[in-house]
Structure 1
Amino acid sequence: MRLRHRLGQRAVAGLTTLLLPFAALVGLASPASAATSATATYAKTQDWGSGFEGKWTVKNTGTTAISSWNVEWDFPSGTAVTSAWDADVTNSGTHWTAKNKSWNGSLAPGASVSFGFNGSGTGSPANCKLNGGSCDGGSVPGDAAPSAPGTPTASAVTNTSVKLSWSAATDDKGIKNYDVLRDGAKVATVTTTSYTNTGLTAGTDYSYTVQARDTADQTGPASGAVAVRTTGGTTEPPTGDKVKLGYFTEWGVYGRNYHVKNLVTSGSASKITHINYAFGNVKDGKCVVDDTYAAYDKAYTADQSVSGTADTWDQPLRGNFNQLRQLKAKYPHIKVLYSFGGWTYSGGFTQAAANPAAFAASCKAVVEDPRWADVFDGIDIDWEYPNACGLTCDTSGFSSFKTLSQALRTEFGSNYLVTAAITADGSSGGKIDAADYGGASASLDWYNVMTYDYFGAFDADGPTAPHSPLTSYAGIPAAGFNSADAIAKLKSKGVPAKKLLLGIGFYGRGWTGVTQSTPGGSATGAAPGTYEAGIEDYKVLKNSCPATGTIAGTAYAYCGNNWWSYDTPATIGSKMTWAKNQGLGGAFFWEFSGDTSNGELVSAINGGLN
């Protein structure tokens, strides 16, 4: 059982992209140096008359790694870039230049990277140059980037400072210096293998990594991350004005051995604003607690407990609910919502829609049970899907979701949060069109738009495609199956941008029997997974099958005959930038246990939205 949803495969129709192949990297290689080749292509991915969305893709078509890239082009007068992501874009008059970010400049043979932008006007780019030459696949000197430094160690931690030390990186031309990154942002550049970061906030969680730069000014991959919490502190760290919400699964306390205390030890609790506790069941049209043992009976020892105090046999509340109570005492800024439904338990919503008032009353009775009334700050409904098909099919009608939402708001009033996780099917005539999401939004605080699980090994023979594309791309298996199209459609139906949260999966989807490293290859079935074939946690994939490229704002990886797609701290950072540029209310993720033990994905969401 999980929040993840499967969008049925649909034929691609009506999407016209402008593909402009341009010519090559110039930097001619000397006979003594290795050479590679690359191309740059442009696509107009969306057009709304007065403006458009464009995307450039740089691909290494040679056999030697590329360490950096720089794309230049001219726009006609009246056409301009208004915002960009995954590249630093500048202009001089009508001449535009895009340079790689620190984390996406290196391209292995066969790998590609894309960056996008929103533009005004109607013109198309001309006179493309890639690293100073044309963009059709010429040669450029190959120079390997530095290796990753060792994971930093922390010492001398005080209320306001910490000393970091790491083992040196290696490079064929020598190391010039190191960039020290705190929560993904550079805070210092040093020439030694240690750094003391001062001016920190007492009682605050931080995450540090280090990148090396060689004498050719190339940056290598980041080191592993070290989590640091400064001493002291009586107030909570600021979380900004964006929602940063994570799902905590009731059943995760079993096989996954993931508990509420893990939110503290990973440093994640100080970087989120909300938790959705998943899932309550919907039976006979009413909300009910699902696993009562995990929810409020399981006993925790002192070392397992958030508070450090062991549960007793006769205390009135134990289990996850009591641990969440302790978490809120330690981090008062966190709000907790009880989420009902999900893929497995959505069948009960059809009966609930027949009597919305009775359903809403039953939900409030669960949330306000006197044993845990102080734990929950609201309710989240995950109906997969109103007036459409998920695990089962619902035919309650276009207005049923709006009516149910109105009943919940009437019952819970203005002092509780009332939210919903909803489909991200942006296709024409798809699931967003099946229900009145625009009308229902007036009764809800926000939507968790499930912008993941678009593609996966539920289509066993492929084609391989990223399960969480931010934007469309040439060759995407289904039109409208991407975050940008879903968000645009919801906005067009009258949903305010601030009521939309972008969804991030802390897991990957993968195929096996794949012979093509880039997206679009055929497969023979689902890749092996720890808990389910075709699905694996990020914390596993980052080491077992590291990313080899990016497409449509997310990463993919090819190892052996397996092909995976998943988000990394880098792609999450870019998605958060996009979410802010779109005016969205924030982001949410499924789910905490897929992250690393030091919470690097949560850190990327927090850093990207601040």
Structure 2
Amino acid sequence: MRFRHRAAAGFATLLLPLAGLVGLASPAPAAADAASATATYAKTQDWGTGFEGKWTVKNTGTSTISAWTIEWDFPSGTSVTSAWDADVTSSGTHWTAKNKSYNGTLAPGASVSFGFNGAGPGAPANCKLNGGSCDGGTLPGDNPPSAPGTPTASGVTDTSVKLSWAAATDDKGVKNYDVLRDGAKVATVTTTSYTDTGLAAGTDYAYTVQARDTADQTGPVSGAVSVHTTGGGTNPPPTGSAVKLGYFTEWGIYGRNYNVKNLVTSGSAAKITHINYAFGNVTGGKCAIGDSYADYDKAFTADQSVSGAADTWDQPLRGNFNQLRELKAKYPNLKVLWSFGGWTWSGGFADAAKDPAGFAQSCYDLVHDPRWADVFDGIDIDWEYPNACGLSCDTSGAAAFKNVMAALRAKFGSSALVTAAVTADGSAGGKIEAADYAGASQYINWYNVMTYDFFGAWDAQGPTAPHSPLTSYSGIPHAGFTTADAIAKYKAAGVPASKLLVGIGFYGRGWTGVTQDAPGGTATGPAAGTYEQGIEDYKVLKTSCPATGTVAGTAYAHCGSNWWSYDTPATIGSKMAWAKSQGLGGAFFWEFSGDTSNGELVSALSNGLS
């Protein structure tokens, strides 16, 4: 499947202090028949109120290890607060770490490490590696259990929900299951169902399940299911002021003739809090200008200018950057970020990941160029996708995204905005699992979760499906490709809800050759679009193909032989209410020029978050 931004260029704080490196050797657990391995622990950082630890598993035998599980005990008062490159769970003071899908296999002589942030003064004790010794020797031939099936929810009330799931498998037998709510264990059961009670009415929760075998080895976590309890009355507002962010594309000033001034004349500038300017290039491991003419050279006439004054040939700064400067003078509370990467230029992040500090320095120098330093309040990274495939495939590793974001925060400092656009692939084994988004979240102000482009006419024969479904529905072509699934997965991984923004597309995606009104019909190809086949602005579809129904929280339209899906003011209002009920940090949209001349979609988004 493709997640992408339109128009051939796609689109996302705590700063831990550094301390001296402290090494602390200690045993830990391993796995596999007729294999041997060691596990060692090191405290890599200590900043007084917390620390960073690292476990390393090394295959010292002659047979490949296919999976590993480390167990240890921490003294009371010491705990893991976040982890990367392993699934870490606890039962009291007993901690268990299981390999991710991408780092479980170890050839003879190979090693793998995972890290975590911790709180408290204690050191690990009583280590086991796949139930065996942590300091070498033959490992028992007992593999961890498989992942259980993704839970299904039934009997949802104001305060409870019943969960059921398909059983996990294990070579020695499954002993029980841990039920996780929003990433925290709430129960351990021996059956494949559980009823969770004592919930809050009108609230969203995310549930996963993890199996444990007779040797107390835990397997991988299941897929997540999102549940919204009934009742609850008025949705609670998100914490703090909601972010209302729109993307402005540098190329929109050409064929679309959409200038910064249109943000004023449409009324949109007064209803948003942030603008992402898209896109800066990423090439040679550095941030670079995307379109110098559009960015800082094009001369705008008086009628095109925010200030009403024409640009002159000798003024120090022209182009979109100067227009954004004039916009900020008119709306002093408006913040502008420069977004780098996108669908077309994300291939450059592979080199950036090789030298995160050098990349961060190049971005800082460009954003703070004296000619336009006052224009930007921070930087947005649109990497499509870390350790996964977009226009090209990235193999930088699961930790690369976190390393890049950490370097950017260190260079830009605590007062600048550092954000990222991120995948909304909430499927089991999907893109969210490919990178350490939870670990990176400590360095960012928020993630723009790209909850659109789930389905489209790149599948030319269909089935027709809404490109931005809020929830799942009967017949959805791919499980996990919904807004609710994506948000649930980030929350379950440990990303704070307040750092997640829900995404809205100001456009539709459509097919032609369709005879069926409801979703799920066959097609013969993409519907005609003004700028690209299979895609059209809301401002056009509103009148050319009005909505004929809704599914999964978004609208669809069947007119003639064409079938489109898109968001309307009504569906945006419903999505904003959902975002508030989730406690999300706000919402963003791609992009301004798809809206009507009076900004009706921006108004719906802004009003829905107010």
Deviation of the 1:494 alpha carbon: 1.0
Matching of residue 82 in structure 1 with residue 201 in structure 2: yes
Verify the 8 A CA contact 1:51 1:118 in the aligned structure 2. Answer: no
Residue by residue, what CA displacement relative to the aligned partner does 1:393-433 show, whole Å, maximum 9, x if unpaired? 11010000000000000110012100000000001110000
Residue by residue, what CA displacement relative to the aligned partner does 1:134-165 show, whole Å, maximum 9, x if unpaired? xxxxxxxxxxxxxxxxxxxxxxxxxxxxxxxx
Match of 2:521 in 1: 521
Deviation of the 1:346 alpha carbon: 0.3
Deviation of the 1:302 alpha carbon: 1.2
Verify the 8 A CA contact 1:465 1:476 in the aligned structure 2. Answer: yes
Structure 1's consecutive aligned runs of 4 or more residues displaced over 3 angstroms after TM superposition are 1-5, 13-20, 43-52, 76-81
1:103-182 to 2 correspondences below 5 Å: 118-119=228-229
Verify the 8 A CA contact 1:463 1:523 in the aligned structure 2. Answer: yes
Residue by residue, what CA displacement relative to the aligned partner does 1:487-540 show, whole Å, maximum 9, x if unpaired? 011011111000000000000000011111000111110000000000000000
State the secondary structure of the residue aligned to 1:338.
strand
- Return closer, same or farther for 1:77/1:426 CA change in 2, 3 Å cut-off: closer
Verify the 8 A CA contact 2:202 2:230 in the aligned structure 1. Answer: no
State the secondary structure of the residue aligned to 2:604.
helix
Residue type of the alignment partner of 1:544:
S
- Return closer, same or farther for 1:18/1:356 CA change in 2, 3 Å cut-off: closer
Q: Distance in 1 between matches of 2:371 and 2:453?
A: 36
Q: Distance in 2 between matches of 1:120 and 1:506?
A: 30
Residue type of the alignment partner of 2:241:
D
Q: Distance in 2 between matches of 1:77 and 1:350?
A: 43
Q: Distance in 1 between matches of 2:507 and 2:317?
A: 32
1:7-86 to 2 correspondences below 5 Å: 82-83=201-202
Matching of residue 608 in structure 1 with residue 602 in structure 2: no
Q: Distance in 2 between matches of 1:45 and 1:313?
A: 67
TM-score (norm 1): 0.64
- Return closer, same or farther for 1:257/1:4 CA change in 2, 3 Å cut-off: same
Match of 1:465 in 2: 465
Match of 1:582 in 2: 582
Matching of residue 321 in structure 1 with residue 431 in structure 2: no
**Matched residues, number:** 411
Match of 2:511 in 1: 511
Verify the 8 A CA contact 2:203 2:582 in the aligned structure 1. Answer: no
TM-score (norm 2): 0.64
Residue type of the alignment partner of 2:288:
V
Match of 1:502 in 2: 502
Match of 1:60 in 2: none
Residue by residue, what CA displacement relative to the aligned partner does 1:338-377 show, whole Å, maximum 9, x if unpaired? 0000000001000000000110000011100000000000
Match of 2:451 in 1: 451
1:369-384 to 2 correspondences below 5 Å: 369-384=369-384
Match of 1:352 in 2: 352
State the secondary structure of the residue aligned to 2:275.
strand
What root-mean-square deviation, in Å, do the aligned CA atoms of Structure 1 and Structure 2 show? Answer: 2.7
Residue type of the alignment partner of 2:436:
D
Residue by residue, what CA displacement relative to the aligned partner does 1:69-118 show, whole Å, maximum 9, x if unpaired? xxxxxxx9979982289xxxxxxxxxxxxxxxxxxxxxxxxxxxxxx982
- Return closer, same or farther for 1:14/1:555 CA change in 2, 3 Å cut-off: farther
Q: Distance in 2 between matches of 1:345 and 1:291?
A: 13
- Return closer, same or farther for 1:368/1:526 CA change in 2, 3 Å cut-off: same
Q: Distance in 2 between matches of 1:50 and 1:397?
A: 27
Verify the 8 A CA contact 1:246 1:590 in the aligned structure 2. Answer: yes
Residue by residue, what CA displacement relative to the aligned partner does 1:551-605 show, whole Å, maximum 9, x if unpaired? 1110000000111000000000000000000000000000000000000000000
Deviation of the 1:4 alpha carbon: 4.8
- Return closer, same or farther for 1:77/1:358 CA change in 2, 3 Å cut-off: closer
- Return closer, same or farther for 1:428/1:3 CA change in 2, 3 Å cut-off: farther
Q: Distance in 1 between matches of 2:561 and 2:572?
A: 26
Residue type of the alignment partner of 1:574:
S
Match of 1:551 in 2: 551
Residue type of the alignment partner of 2:575:
K
Verify the 8 A CA contact 1:243 1:274 in the aligned structure 2. Answer: yes
Verify the 8 A CA contact 1:281 1:341 in the aligned structure 2. Answer: yes
Could you list the runs of 5+ residues in structure 1 that have no partner in the other structure?
A: 6-12, 21-42, 53-75, 86-115, 122-239
Could you list the runs of 5+ residues in structure 2 that have no partner in the other structure?
A: 1-6, 12-147, 156-160, 166-177, 183-194, 205-225, 232-239
1:479-490 to 2 correspondences below 5 Å: 479-490=479-490
Verify the 8 A CA contact 2:153 2:227 in the aligned structure 1. Answer: no
Identical-residue share of aligned pairs (%):
73
Verify the 8 A CA contact 2:282 2:346 in the aligned structure 1. Answer: yes
Residue by residue, what CA displacement relative to the aligned partner does 1:456-513 show, whole Å, maximum 9, x if unpaired? 0011111110000001111111111001010011011111000000000000000011
Q: Distance in 2 between matches of 1:363 and 1:438?
A: 23
Residue type of the alignment partner of 1:290:
G
Match of 1:564 in 2: 564
Match of 2:388 in 1: 388
Verify the 8 A CA contact 1:45 1:472 in the aligned structure 2. Answer: no
1:187-336 to 2 correspondences below 5 Å: 241-336=241-336
Deviation of the 1:120 alpha carbon: 7.0
Match of 1:132 in 2: none
Match of 1:366 in 2: 366
Residue type of the alignment partner of 1:283:
T
- Return closer, same or farther for 1:46/1:330 CA change in 2, 3 Å cut-off: farther
Q: Distance in 2 between matches of 1:431 and 1:560?
A: 36
